[in-house]
Amino acid sequence: MTQGTETIDITLKVWRQKGPEDRGRFETIEVKDVETHMSFLEMLDVVNERLTLEGKEPIEFDSDCREGICGMCGAVVNGIPHGPEKAMTLCQLHMRKFEDGDTIVVEPLRARAFKVVKDLIVDRSPLDKIIQAGGYISVNVGGAPDANAIPISQELAEKAMDAAACIGCGACVAACPNASAMLFVSAKVSHLTLLPQGKPEAARRAIGMVRAMDACGFGNCSNERECEAVCPKEIKITNIARLNREFIKAALFSMEK
Amino acid sequence: MIHLHVEGEAVNSKLRIHETIKCDVLIIGCGGAGLRCAVEIFEKMPGTRVIAVTKVPHPQKSHTSTAQGGLAAVDPDDPVDSPAYHMFDTWKGSDCMADQNIVKKIVESAWTQVIWLENHGMHFSRDEAGNLSKRTFGGHTLNFGQSSAFRAVFEADRTGKGIVDTLWGEALKGGISFINQSIATELLFEGKRCVGAVIFREKYGDFVKVLARATVLATGGSGQMFRVTTNCRQNTADGLALALRAGLPIMDPEAVQFHPTGIVGPGILASETLRSVGGILRNRDLEPFMERYAPRMKELAPRDLVARAIEKEIREGRGVLNPDHNVEHVWIDLRHLPDYVHDVQIPEVTGFFRRFVNIDPRKELCPVRPSNHYHMGGIPTNEFGEVQRGAKETVPGLIAVGECAAASFHGFNRLGTNSLLELITMGKIAGERIIEYLSQDPDTLPEVSPERTFSLFARFMDEKGEENTGRLRQEMQAVMTEKAGVFRTEHGLSDAVDSLRELYERAGHTSLSSKSLRMNQELVQRWEFDNLLAISMACALAALNRRESRGAHFREDFPERNDEFNHHTLVYMSEFGKVDFGKRPVDMSIYAAGGENYEKFGLIERKY
């Protein structure tokens, strides 16, 4: 059930960048005796501890809950946001997935709209601007004496539930050749629009959020499906189809401009 | 801009206020409590200037988002449940240390809060009929302890995330200004009134003075005091340390909850849901040992009892050793649960075992052991969230909500699902209070200057030596886990106090590899370590002082509860390790009112 502690030696090629204006470069770090039960981020912790003991600057990276729910961690590992394992955040990736002698390339989640703050940290606050443009409910449909006054069918609830799983990590943006945030936008639009309390302002939401996304410098969707492949919460691109329908409906029939 | 390595004077010349910002409300911390407070203000008083500071790079990433299980709320239309039962459970769970005025207030408004969240787009799980689903949780009962209550509403096993997402959207709608990835280094006062705080922006490496008519502390927990914790990396008791440095007390710092089932290795929480859906705890001999400790509630007894039972099994040689982490643990058995339960009710949690420890819970036993989880103690507040200077006197302009605060709803042991309930309710109540405050208070903000921030940071910059903050922190966590953890003794706690003093001294001999202020995680960790040391010290000294066992605080040398200690402890710390104790009585207004079932709210025995 549990195995003895195994170790591997790896070579890290990690992106180092002092600030947004710095050009940045890859740094090669040999890391010996990595215990395979460690997570990828624990491995980076060990590397950082060794770096600081040598008087060198540690690698800056984001992480918080380390459970895969907060959406704070994320880096491109060997070319794939959150690394090679399906349906995982970076903090869930473990060193047992790597072999002794492997070279691992680590880069930030790059996108035109996400500026590199330092090393592996990018600024994901443009996602705020998108949410601000409609990712909420402002019409109070309830005033209902009881939340059960509007029963929601389980099928509908499940669909909305799957869309609401988005943790806003930004991996979809980094994976997309167009650096589009369509999967993120569509997840929020689907979650809110599928539920009765979100229906009244569906048109305003779809138009507002897509417009904000464009304004922030995110690209558009050209059905590459890379986003779906890397999403740690397995959000489906059928949500993008729903967003497109909502957007067209709104653009054609709604008074919202 | 390429940042150059600057030394000595050049750095110290950067230790100045870069900018002064004025606003109506400053909220420090953007978890559920802070954001709920902001949203309440926007709903009732649109156009209020609210600035919210978050330590994480993005408000959506706050620790509230990791809450899995649910939110306890009694539906008034529920044919079998009643708010009185919920109040009783909370009181009993707290080991007679929750304040009854707070318990009544929060429990009675719970369902309204659920409706509010639902109306604002939060997506609660529904049952086949389309109604809100409910699940059972440890310590929540019907009919004053007779049977388990289906009381917790939830969004799959990501209830906290649903709350944060909803509040994040609402706060942005209201026009909140976020200052991301920043820490509050000092509260500012004009006389006794709090008028804002100094904020250090990590991204820019500069200090901003935020002057505010009301300041809210919503900085969350302090789990990083311990080696194994379910808390985020960022939960380093910052708000509590901020209060202590301002000469304010913290209350019941010794009341620390250990969740019985942290996953061995990552320390991640294996939600109580696992036990509520039928998971069984087993020792080395595969005996379902909870039957011996809580014959009636078994696996669903409150957290402190289950945690102690597991620790006892381990200490008496019935644990299992994990070779990777060299720690002993027990098993939770989920193998008998149907696929539907694994796939639909606990997918996230069973996923943790699969991903983090490479174990398939359908086929294998899962290793768990107690893990630090929640701080019941915190900054003392009254029922409106106003911070107290002593047992009665409040600090004008200063509010505290959420885990960093102690009103106290949880007393000495929190029931599962009561924290989400507390943070949204107290967030709202605090918001209402602030609105009152803003409409009375004249719109003037004084010019005050920081007193401590720059000397503190200059000290961190100037320290020289061979010590390493990360390693010292690990040593501190080991000391706290061993000496001030699930089981405590006079001897162990005295040792802990000595070790903490030594660690404090050694922390003065760390040196930063970069003297830059910008994006310097070593510098922030050094600051966090000071906070953690201060709160660990307060915790150890208060635990030493409380010569009894109550809720999560268990003294092996004083295993019984003692009425002599039937009060909250206020801890003031004028300098590191030098504390004064004060007392605050426990509110027993439900008992005193003498209504129906009032006798259930006396100093009752706590057996499950």
Question: Based on the domain organization, do B495 and B425 belong to the same domain?
Answer: no
Report the CATH number that the domain containing residue A58 is assigned in CATH: 3.10.20.30
Q: Domain of residue A70: give its range.
A: 7-118
- Residue finishing a domain among A58, A86, A118: A118
pLDDT category at B8 given cuts 50, 70, 90 is: very low
pLDDT above 70 covers a percentage of chain B that reads: 98
**What is the least distance, in Å, from the CA of A89 to any CA of chain B?**
10
- Which residues of chain B from 415 to 474 reach within 8 Å of chain A, CB to CB? 468, 470-471
Q: Indicate if B427 and B502 belong to the same structural domain.
A: no
* pLDDT of A190 strictly over 60: yes
Higher-pLDDT residue of B129 and B150 is B150
Q: B464 and B573 share a domain?
A: yes
- The reply to whether residue B60 touches residue A71, judged by beta carbons under 8 angstroms, is yes
Would you say residue B100 lies in a domain? Answer: no
CA A141 to chain B, closest CA, distance in angstroms equals 7
Instruction: Classify residue B316 by its DSSP letter.
Output: I
Residues B496 and B527 both lie in one domain:
yes
Compute, in degrees rounded to 10, the torsion defined by CA atoms B107, B112, B114, B117: -140
| Domain-embedded: residue B89 | no
- A23 interaction partners in chain B (CB closer than 8 Å): none
Catalytic pick among B158, B227, B275, B303:
B303
Q: Residue A247 sits in a domain of what CATH number? A: 1.10.1060.10
Whether A76 is covered by a domain: the verdict is yes
In-domain check, residue B543: yes
Averaged over B22-41, what is the pLDDT?
Answer: 97
Please give the pLDDT value at position A254: 78
Q: What CATH number has the domain bearing residue B228?
A: 3.50.50.60
Identify the residue with better confidence: A138 or B540.
B540
Helix (H) or strand (E) holding B574: strand B567-575
pLDDT at B418: 96
Chain A contact for B58 (CB, 8 A cutoff): yes
Decide if pLDDT at B294 tops 70: yes
Strands B17-28 and B50-53: parallel
Q: Identity (one letter) of the amino acid at B102?
A: I
Domain boundary among A118, A140, A161: A118
Looking at the fold, whether A54 and A158 belong to one and the same domain comes out as no
Alpha-helix residue ranges (DSSP H) falling in A26-164: 40-53, 126-132, 154-163
Mean pLDDT of B147-161: 91
Q: How far is B201 from chain A (nearest CA, A)?
A: 13
Instruction: Write the CATH number for B355.
Output: 3.90.700.10
Average pLDDT over every residue of A54-66 = 90
- Nearest by CB to residue B119, choosing from A96, A142, A153, is A142
**Together in a domain, A78 and A139:** no
Nearest to B269 by CA among B278, B279, B259: B259
A101 and A150 part of one domain: no
Res. B7 pLDDT band, cuts 50 70 90 = very low
Residues of chain A contacting residue B57, judged by C-beta atoms under 8 Å apart:
62, 72, 117, 121, 123-124
B358 touches chain A (CB under 8 A): yes
Give the Å distances, CA to CA, from A192 to A131, B99, B210. 12, 38, 35
Name which of B232-236, B397-401, B530-534 the model is least confident about. B232-236
Judge whether B279 lies within some domain. Answer: yes
Nearest to A183 by CA among A214, A221, A129: A221
Contacts of A126 in chain B (CB under 8 A): none
**Region of poorest pLDDT, from A103-112, A132-141, A207-216, B288-297:** A132-141
User: In this complex, which of B56, B118, B364 lies closest to A1 when CB atoms are compared?
Assistant: B364
Q: Is residue B597 part of a domain?
A: no
The residue in chain B having the minimum alpha-carbon distance to the alpha carbon of residue A118 is B519
Helix axes B521-545, B469-483, angle to 10 degrees: 20
Of B156, B518, B522, nearest to A58 by CB-CB distance is B522
Mean pLDDT of B205-233: 94
Within 479-538 of B, beta carbons closer than 8 Å to A belong to 513-514, 518-519, 521-522
Q: What is the mean pLDDT of chain B?
A: 93
Single-letter code of the amino acid located at B197: A
Instruction: Let me know if residue A20 belongs to a domain.
Output: yes
By CB neighbour count within 10 A (0-12 exposed, 13-18 middle, 19+ buried), where does B196 fall?
buried
Q: How far apart are the C-alpha atoms of B585 and B388, rounded to whole Å?
A: 13
Contact call for A37 and B265, based on CB within 8 A = yes
- Note whether B330 and B406 are same-domain residues: no
Residue with the larger pLDDT of the pair A227 and B3: A227
Give the range of the structural domain holding residue B278, as residue numbers without chain letter.
Answer: 259-372
From B326, B330, B381, B229, select the one nearest A64 (Cα to Cα): B229
Residues A103 and A189 in one domain: no
Of the candidates B115, B172, B470, which has its C-beta nearest A144's C-beta? B115
Q: Domain for residue A192, yes or no? A: yes
Residue A151 is assigned to a structural domain of this protein: yes
Q: Are B89 and B140 in contact (CB under 8 A)?
A: yes
The rounded distance, in Å, linking the Cα atoms of B404 and B237 is 7
Contacts of B575 (CB under 8 A, 6+ apart): none
| Contact criterion met (CB below 8 Å) for A188 and A135 | yes
Asked whether residue B275 falls in the same domain as residue B381, the answer is no
Question: Is B180 close to A66, i.e. CB distance below 8 A?
Answer: no
Do B172 and B211 share a domain, yes or no? yes
**What is the per-residue pLDDT for B271?**
83
CA separation for the pair A27, A30 (Å, rounded): 10
Whether residue A145 is contained in a domain is answered as yes
Residue B5 confidence (pLDDT) = 40
pLDDT at position B276, please?
86
Q: How far apart are CA B207 and CA B221, in angstroms?
A: 24
Distance CA(B543)–CA(A206), nearest Å, equals: 55
Q: Report chain A's terminal Cα–Cα distance, integer Å.
A: 60
For residues B325 and B402, state if they share a domain. no
Q: Does one domain contain both B170 and B303?
A: no
Helix (H, G, I), strand (E, B) or coil at A15: strand
Cα B299 to Cα B331: distance, rounded to the nearest angstrom: 12
pLDDT score recorded for residue B91:
97
Side chain identity at residue B461, one-letter code: M
Does A164 sit within 8 Å of B162, measured CB to CB?
Answer: yes
Q: Which of B58, B161, B519 is closest, CB to CB, to A60? A: B519
- B 89-118 near A (Cβ less than 8 A): 114-115, 118
**B370, B330 Cβ separation under 8 angstroms:** no
Shortest CA distance to B69 belongs to which of B275, B226, B258, B233? B275
Q: Quick check: A21 and B2 CB within 8 A? A: yes
B69-to-B64, B191, B251, B416 alpha-carbon distances in Å: 12, 43, 27, 8
pLDDT at B42: 97
Asked whether residue A130 falls in the same domain as residue A251, the answer is: yes
* B491-495, long-range: CB < 8 A, 24+ apart: B493/B540, B493/B543, B493/B544, B494/B544
Same domain for A194 and A252:
yes
In A, minimum Cα distance to B4 occurs at: A18
Whether A166 maps to a domain, the answer reads yes
Res. A87: pLDDT tops 70: yes
Q: How confident is the model at residue B12 (pLDDT cuts 50, 70, 90)?
A: low
Q: What is the largest CA-CA distance in chain B?
A: 71
The pLDDT mean for chain A works out to 90
Classify the phi-psi angles of A78: left when phi > 0, otherwise alpha if psi is within -120 to 50, otherwise beta: left
Q: What is the pLDDT of residue B481?
A: 93
Q: Given B417, B440, B463, which residue is the final one in a domain?
A: B440
pLDDT at B6 over 60: no
In a domain? residue A1: no
| Residue B324 in contact with partner chain A when CB distance is under 8 A | yes
Q: Please, which pLDDT band fits residue B17 given cuts at 50, 70 and 90? A: very high
Interval B535-548 mean pLDDT: 98
Inter-axis angle of helices A202-215 and A238-253, nearest 10: 110
One domain for residues A169 and A58: no
Residue-wise pLDDT for A205-251, tens only, equals: 999 999 999 999 999 999 999 999 999 999 999 999 999 999 999 98
How many domains, chain B?
3
pLDDT at position A154: 76
**Nearest Cα to Cα of residue A39 among A15, A65, A14, A60:** A65
At residue A153, the pLDDT reads 78
Q: Is residue B236 located within the same domain as residue B272?
A: no
- Looking at the fold, whether A247 and A135 belong to one and the same domain comes out as yes
Checking DSSP bridges between strand A103-107 and strand B256-263, what pairing results, if any? unpaired
> Which residue in chain A is spatially nearest to B357 when comparing CA positions?
A37
- State yes or no: is B303 an active-site residue: yes
Kindly state whether residue B607 falls inside one of the protein's structural domains. Answer: no
Partner-chain residue, chosen from A20, A138, A147, that has the shortest CB–CB distance to B118: A147
Which residues lie closer than 8 Å to B420 by C-beta, 6 or more apart? Answer: B32, B64, B67, B70, B71, B72, B159, B160, B163
Q: Which of A99-113, A135-149, B168-182, B479-493 has the lowest mean pLDDT?
A: A135-149
d(CA B448, CA B16): 14
Cβ atoms of residues B107 and B86 within 8 Å: yes
Predicted confidence (pLDDT) per residue in B505-515, tens digit: 999 999 998 88
Cα–Cα distance for residue pair B272/A37, rounded to 1 Å: 25
A95 and A219 fall within a common domain:
no
Q: Which residues pair with B28 in a beta bridge?
A: B53, B217
Give yes or no: residues B386 and B331 share one domain: no
Structure tokens given for B412 = 């000495």
| ipTM of the complex, rounded to two decimals | 0.85
Q: Could you give the C-alpha distances from B93 to A138, B419, B592, in angstroms and in order?
A: 38, 13, 19
- Quote the minimal CA–CA distance from A252 to chain B in Å: 26
| pTM of the model as a whole | 0.91
Q: State the pLDDT at residue A172.
A: 97
Q: Determine the average pLDDT of the residues in B27-33.
A: 97
* B542 falls within a domain: yes
Domain end marker among B342, B372, B402: B372
Reported as a single tens digit per residue, the pLDDT across B77-111 is: 899 999 999 999 999 999 999 999 999 999 999 99
- Mean pLDDT, residues B421-437 taken together: 96
Residue B275 lies in a domain: yes
Q: Domain for residue A2, yes or no?
A: no
Nearest of B595, B606, B605, B427 to residue B83 by alpha carbon: B595
pLDDT value at residue B580? 97
The residue of chain A with its CA nearest to that of B515 is: A57
Which residue among B114, B324, B355 sits closest to A88, beta carbon to beta carbon? B355
Tell me how crowded residue B98 is: count the other CB atoms within 10 A of its CB: 31
**How many CB atoms neighbour CB A216 within 10 A?**
19
Distance between B597 CA and the closest CA of chain A, angstroms? 27
- CATH number of the domain to which B514 belongs: 1.20.58.100
Instruction: Output b/e per residue, B473-490; b: 16+ Cβ within 10 A.
Output: beebbebbbebbbbbbbe
> 3-class DSSP state for residue A167?
coil
Cβ-based contacts under 8 A for chains A and B? 208
The last residue of one of the domains, among A118, A137, A163, is: A118
CA B352 to chain centre: 22
Q: Are residues B273 and B298 in the same domain?
A: yes
User: Are residues A134 and A191 part of one domain?
Assistant: yes
Q: Is B101 helix (H, G, I), strand (E, B) or coil?
A: helix
Residues 213-242 of B with CB under 8 A from A: 232-234
- Select the residue from B61, B178, B232, B515 to test the A interface by mutation, using most A Cβ atoms within 10 A: B61
Count of domains in chain A?
2
Closest-CA residue of chain B to A65: B232
